[in-house]
Structure 1
Amino acid sequence: METDGMYTAGEKEILHTSLDRHRDAVLWKLRGLDDEQLRRPVTPSGTNLLGLVKHLASVEYGWFVASFGGEVEPLWFDPYSDEDMSAGPGESTGRIVDFYGRARAAADAVIAERPLDALGRPDWRDHEVSLRWVLVHMIEETARHAGHMDILRELIDGATGDHPRTPDPDTAPE
């Protein structure tokens, strides 16, 4: 994602662009892998790429949408348990990736519609949070899990980085 124009943008645009950059890295970590690789637990805790995407979708809905009075789509799992960190046998890759896309779009609508100082109240907290705080929190959350995904992806097939590498035109073979 090109961000050169963001160096002088307003605070909300900078925060949203930062979140999008990490969201895009999350999706890039899935590219080129088959279903078995996406579900493969490569840590003792069972962490896998697809489970992390499901978790990120769940928290986007919770922090951005539910906290600010929006409607969250019915979930087929319990987001307050480890069910949001794994992909079950009946959950297709497409279903989870599409779920992340819908959560991201719903969160983007909340971000677009509200000022940074808008207040929301998560159901699971006893205090209000500002949209600014949620944006920073979700940048942290998404970046943290994108880092986990980077390690998982490297263990699966050796791919690393936060975005596809394009060859340097000055050094690429002709």
Structure 2
Amino acid sequence: MPGFAPPAADERTALTAYLAHQRRALRVTAYGLTDDQARTAAPVGELSIGGLIKHAARCETFWTDLVLRQRRGPQRKADESDADEFRLAPDESLADVLAAYAEAAERTDAVIAGIPDLGQAVPVPRGLPWFPEEVGEWSVRWVLLHLIEETARHGGHADLIRESLDGATLYPLLATAEAWTDPWFQPWEPAPADLGPQQASAD
């Protein structure tokens, strides 16, 4: 079933498959959007699809650095604020953040594939107020579960924003983006006014 994560015979395959599935769902919310549409915030709030994908890429980079014990801090420009991480800046394109997300995901997958024990310790960073002081370490397994949770939460945000833009929802978008054969519903089709040369692909 193309709308579900594939069957998994072991824990590692299950965790990485579910993470890949949630990434796919987040990415497809951008399918067919222009840069301007990707910058459009939700009716209430400041989140946008482009900003959420930008944040997801930086989030994976941060956590993979922790697994490798290569903490580099937030992946931000010198003049960026916390809120800027969730916005697609005027000098950024949807294609740019999609490419960065694909690169971050590929790196995460390669790092995880090279770790024999998912119980391997991952130290909790100190001096960051959102991390618990009483916990000294997580595991690689915990990090994967956290990335699944984080990606799924932001995928839900992106779903709502996309539906507010043009009424598109997850399965019709996937059916069009991935050319599903004989779906049981109407695949997404752009309205004539949405067609243009600046459309970005979720592939």
Bin for the TM-score computed over the shorter chain: 0.7 to 0.9
* Aligned partner of residue 6 in structure 1, secondary structure: coil
Cα distance in structure 2, aligned partners of 1:168 and 1:17? 24
| One-letter amino acid matched to 1:116 | L
Partner of 2:148: 139
Distance change >3 Å, CA 155–CA 6, structure 1 → 2: same
Aligned residues between the structures = 171
Cα deviation for residue 58 of structure 1 reads 1.1
Partner of 1:113: 114
Cα deviation for residue 104 of structure 1 reads 0.9
Q: 1:164 aligns with which of 174, 178, 181?
A: 174
CA contact (8 A) 2:162 2:168 kept: yes
2:173 matches 1:129: no
CA-based RMSD: 2.8
* Aligned partner of residue 147 in structure 2, secondary structure: helix
Q: Structure 1, residues 81-118: CA drift from partner, whole Å, max 9, x if none?
A: 22211111112222211111111111112211112111
Which stretch shifts more, 154-163 or 138-147? Answer: 154-163
User: TM-score scaled by structure 1?
Assistant: 0.84
2:85 matches 1:75: no
Matching of residues 6-85 of structure 1 within 5 Å: 6-7=7-8, 9-70=9-70, 75-77=75-77, 81-85=82-86
Distance change >3 Å, CA 156–CA 104, structure 1 → 2: same
CA contact (8 A) 2:34 2:94 kept: no
Unpaired segments ≥5 residues, structure 2: 187-203
Which stretch shifts more, 114-123 or 17-26? Answer: 114-123
| One-letter amino acid matched to 1:14 | A
Q: Structure 1, residues 12-31: CA drift from partner, whole Å, max 9, x if none?
A: 10010001001011111111
Cα deviation for residue 3 of structure 1 reads 5.8
Higher helix share: 1
Cα distance in structure 1, aligned partners of 2:159 and 2:185? 26
Unpaired segments ≥5 residues, structure 1: none
Cα distance in structure 2, aligned partners of 1:4 and 1:101? 18
Aligned-pair identity (%):
32
CA contact (8 A) 1:48 1:152 kept: yes
User: TM-score scaled by structure 2?
Assistant: 0.73
Cα distance in structure 2, aligned partners of 1:57 and 1:109? 15
Distance change >3 Å, CA 20–CA 169, structure 1 → 2: closer
